Structure 1
Amino acid sequence: LVKLLVGHRNGLTVVGDDDQSIYAWRGARPENLSLLKKDFPSLKLIKLEQNYRSTGLILNAANIVIDNNPHEFEKKLWSDQGYGDPIKILKCKNDEVESERIATEIVERRLRYGGTYRDFAVLYRGNHQSRMIEMKLQAYQVPYKLSGGQSFFGRNEIKDIMAYLRLLINPTDDAAFLRVVNTPRREIGPSTIEKLSEYAAMRNISMIAATTEMGLEQVLMPKALDRLRRFGNWLERITRNAYTDDPVAAIKEMIDDIDYEGYLHQNSGTPHQAERRMKNVYFLVDQIQKMIDKADELGDECTIEDAVGKLILRDMLEQQSEEDENDQVQLMTLHASKGLEFPHVYIMGMEEELMPHRNSIEADTIEEERRLMYVGITRAKRTLTLTYAGKRRQYGEAVDTTHSRFLDELPADDIEWEGKSETSAEESKKRGQDTLDSLMNLF
């Protein structure tokens, strides 16, 4: 297609960075740049090596880490922003202490040096890691924004129904599944969801797909498994109706089946508030009907997938326009952080089988995980902190961890590694008390 567009003129410009290729499962591979030289041998290579974002120390660390990958295009990022502060590596006792430490450091740094909450970003390998840091930030009344979820008009009732609709057109949408699996309540508790999530991650499949696997019977109690499977079967029936019959009728059937109006009355302050929220839901359904009717008038076809896709796009545009007005700590996956920048970055969960991910270790695709690490490091403008837990809870049990191999690849002279050598309980307690005393003095 590109050859046909270019024709005989050779008027082609390609922009890319093989070191930031982190979507191989979408077909984006660094080899694609190599193939360009064969298809377009007259292309001139121009290296853009000056970085206008990060300090020299951060870029040096990124260069050294990514040097462990094979390269066809060698480059060295450099900056005139000064060399900067050392990279901090924090070993924490467990995942709860890890999140506590990140939350208190954000509060302390903001109080001591000023700035805004949106100067801070906490990055992680998988969405499931956000739960604990959210709890700790809430405890300190720190506003945060969890990126990746979809929002429509910013109302919870719209988010709920949109999550159901997203599942109808994309059953692998785990974020949508997590939002609706117990909304309204289906007696599917957090312990069940946690075990399902861990099982799905282990199998590298979606959570709803995991509910049909026989292996899940070894993880969940029969009652919990039955509730999950009944939910999955019901959703499959609604999805089938939405694609084969009247999609809007199927959506209305879905809303009636879950008695969403009754749920709103149970979870709203007044009957009037519940009615107003339900009107928002009706408005959303009407929008879908109008899209379909308009397409019919123009002689086009508008499937449920087309209609919901347009609503998601509107949601994203609205969210983008409001983003700059929010002073919030940014929580997101390393994948989602690509292209963004923050003065202060924390990357949590720097452990083997998490970063790099277990699936990558087993499949011997560490190079892509290292590129993901490179992306994470280069999001930081002024300070970078990497954390890992000595123990992390899996399937309800605390499991010993091993720190990520990527930490050993960082230049020793540019890092401060806290907790690598064993410290006594008294020293750990004193360090925690010093942090709290520092916070109190700032107040």
Structure 2
Amino acid sequence: MKRIVGANGNVTVVGDFDQSIFGFRGADPRFLQAFGEQYPRHALIKLQQNYRSTPNILAPALSLIRHNTERIDRPLTTRNPAGDPVGVWPCEGTDDEAHLVVSHLTDRFADQWGDCAILYRCNAQALALESALFEAEVPFSIVGGKPFFELSEVAMLLAYLRLARNPLDDVALKTVLNIPPRYLGPEFANALQMAADHEHTHLYQVLDCLRPPRPFQRQKAMEFKQLIERLRYLSLTRGPAQILREIRGPGGFDAWLTAESDGEPDNERGRNVDELTRVSERWTTIGEFLQHVMAVSKASKGKGNRVSMLTMHRSKGLEWPRVFITGLCQGVCPHEKATWAPGGLEEERRLFYVGMTRAMKTLNIYVPGRMWRKSMDSSQFLHEAGLLDA
């Protein structure tokens, strides 16, 4: 930039210390500070008029963000009416949280779905919310991301369930043929498809009779077929949650997922499969569960007057009259990784600030006492914002 600007220093930079939330992409609020140091004759113009939120939303958001040190203080004001106080709603667990959110939506804002947004920190939080919205026939859409059931690790486990129910499902078999890695890559998959086409049959039926390009692949293919047969047998008497545990444990899925995540067992993808397993306990057969999955996935695809669902990261730059922020627990928001990542806690604080300031008229925040089978404490951010007593 120095080379482009030259000696005159004629350059304008627009930025907000308090909305720098993409550190994993290289963003850092200190870049704004460095600009001021490199151009000491700069003029600093603070934009302090807020046109979006009410005073009752803005006040706790400002109280929160003032706990950060990497910022220039900017006392925002607004001429909007005071509005409703921010609602903070403790609840027992994530399912109770989801039903409470839906209750507030249907009781207060029915048919105003497009005015409403549900924000969350982690994708694993979305499943209970999607299911509750679907069951209440509240239209919704996932903004800027994939529905929960289409996340890669979730889709792989669902493919295994489809195979357990029907081993002749060629699409499902190809999805997990080499997940976890079995040395049955594209070359083997092509040979398998050619053999099935030649015999006018399904991939499963030629798995153990194919002469693969490499001799050791025959044994791997037989082991894979044995896994499918075991899952098929178990599915006759056990529900989807038990089948998922078989895939994740003896089937090696969790070990592979951990290896893919740099050896961290407690990562977001791991939480996604944990949440899938937990929610699947509500169904007694794989068929019933897969029907639910298909129905929820279809429900999230529509357009028009719908509740928006998205992560707080994806909410930046957007606004809605009614905002519902879920999962305000320590270890979720702020995320547990913030405790050891340099600058992590301040970035998590900025993230919650961004989430709060998406709201134009009303803001409701939910605090489940249990998430992912663990007891949870309320987020320190709620105390810093003055929304909960210390």
TM-score normalised by the shorter chain: which range applies?
0.5 to 0.7
Matched, 1:372 2:351: yes
The alignment partner of 1:92 has SS state of strand
The runs of at least 4 consecutive aligned structure 1 residues that moved more than 6 Å come to none
**Alignment check: 8 A CA contact 2:113 2:139 kept:** yes
**Alignment check: 8 A CA contact 1:122 1:348 kept:** yes
- Measure, in 2, the Cα distance between the counterparts of 1:363 and 1:19: 18
Unaligned runs of 5+ in 1: 152-159, 164-174, 190-226, 242-249, 264-322, 421-443
Deviations 1:381-406 (A, max 9, x none): 001111011122x3xxx321111011
Name 1:344's counterpart in structure 2.
322
Deviations 1:399-430 (A, max 9, x none): 2111101111123xxx5x7xx9xxxxxxxxxx
Give 1 or 2: higher helix fraction: 1
Name 1:387's counterpart in structure 2.
366
Tell me by how many angstroms 1:182 deviates.
3.4
Matched, 1:138 2:134: yes
Give the direction of change, closer, same or farther, for the CA distance of 1:138–1:43 in structure 2 (3 Å limit).
Answer: same
Name 2:52's counterpart in structure 1.
53
Name 2:181's counterpart in structure 1.
233
Matched, 1:410 2:389: no
Name 1:7's counterpart in structure 2.
6
Identity over aligned pairs, percent: 32
Matched, 1:178 2:126: no
Matched, 1:65 2:64: yes
Amino acid at match of 1:231: I
Tell me by how many angstroms 1:184 deviates.
7.3
- Measure, in 2, the Cα distance between the counterparts of 1:119 and 1:234: 48
Tell me by how many angstroms 1:188 deviates.
8.0
Q: Which moved more, 1:360-369 or 1:117-126?
A: 360-369
**Alignment check: 8 A CA contact 2:21 2:347 kept:** yes
Amino acid at match of 1:182: L
Tell me by how many angstroms 1:74 deviates.
1.2
Deviations 1:45-73 (A, max 9, x none): 11111111110111111111000111441
**Alignment check: 8 A CA contact 2:141 2:302 kept:** no
Matched, 1:125 2:121: yes
Give the direction of change, closer, same or farther, for the CA distance of 1:104–1:407 in structure 2 (3 Å limit).
Answer: same
The alignment partner of 1:335 has SS state of helix
Amino acid at match of 1:344: R
Matched, 1:362 2:340: yes
- Measure, in 2, the Cα distance between the counterparts of 1:253 and 1:80: 65
Amino acid at match of 1:366: L
Give the direction of change, closer, same or farther, for the CA distance of 1:256–1:22 in structure 2 (3 Å limit).
Answer: farther
Unaligned runs of 5+ in 2: 166-174, 203-300
Give the direction of change, closer, same or farther, for the CA distance of 1:235–1:339 in structure 2 (3 Å limit).
Answer: farther
- Measure, in 2, the Cα distance between the counterparts of 1:382 and 1:127: 26
Name 1:43's counterpart in structure 2.
42
Q: State TM-score, norm by structure 2.
A: 0.63
- Measure, in 1, the Cα distance between the counterparts of 2:18 and 2:191: 45
The alignment partner of 1:382 has SS state of strand
Give the direction of change, closer, same or farther, for the CA distance of 1:254–1:132 in structure 2 (3 Å limit).
Answer: farther
Pick from 298, 307, 313 the counterpart of residue 335 of structure 1: 313
**Alignment check: 8 A CA contact 1:88 1:384 kept:** yes
**Alignment check: 8 A CA contact 2:64 2:385 kept:** yes
Amino acid at match of 2:131: M
- Measure, in 2, the Cα distance between the counterparts of 1:406 and 1:178: 31
Give the direction of change, closer, same or farther, for the CA distance of 1:369–1:253 in structure 2 (3 Å limit).
Answer: same
**Alignment check: 8 A CA contact 2:118 2:308 kept:** yes
Aligned CA RMSD, in angstroms, stands at 3.3
Corresponding pairs, count: 276
Amino acid at match of 1:125: R
Which aligned pairs between 1:128-277 and structure 2 lie closer than 5 A? 128-149=124-145, 175-183=151-159, 187=163, 230-233=178-181, 237-238=185-186, 253=190
- Measure, in 1, the Cα distance between the counterparts of 2:153 and 2:346: 31
**Alignment check: 8 A CA contact 2:177 2:184 kept:** no
Tell me by how many angstroms 1:355 deviates.
0.8
Name 2:222's counterpart in structure 1.
none
Tell me by how many angstroms 1:176 deviates.
3.5
Give the direction of change, closer, same or farther, for the CA distance of 1:342–1:255 in structure 2 (3 Å limit).
Answer: farther
Deviations 1:24-59 (A, max 9, x none): 121101100011012222221111111111101111
Q: State TM-score, norm by structure 1.
A: 0.56
Name 2:256's counterpart in structure 1.
none
Amino acid at match of 2:181: N
**Alignment check: 8 A CA contact 2:52 2:360 kept:** yes
- Measure, in 2, the Cα distance between the counterparts of 1:325 and 1:182: 25
Amino acid at match of 1:122: I
**Alignment check: 8 A CA contact 2:160 2:176 kept:** no
**Alignment check: 8 A CA contact 1:188 1:228 kept:** no
Which aligned pairs between 1:101-112 and structure 2 lie closer than 5 A? 101-111=100-110
Amino acid at match of 1:121: A
- Measure, in 1, the Cα distance between the counterparts of 2:135 and 2:71: 48
- Measure, in 2, the Cα distance between the counterparts of 1:148 and 1:24: 19
Name 1:294's counterpart in structure 2.
none
**Alignment check: 8 A CA contact 1:123 1:332 kept:** yes
The alignment partner of 1:231 has SS state of coil
- Measure, in 1, the Cα distance between the counterparts of 2:60 and 2:47: 18
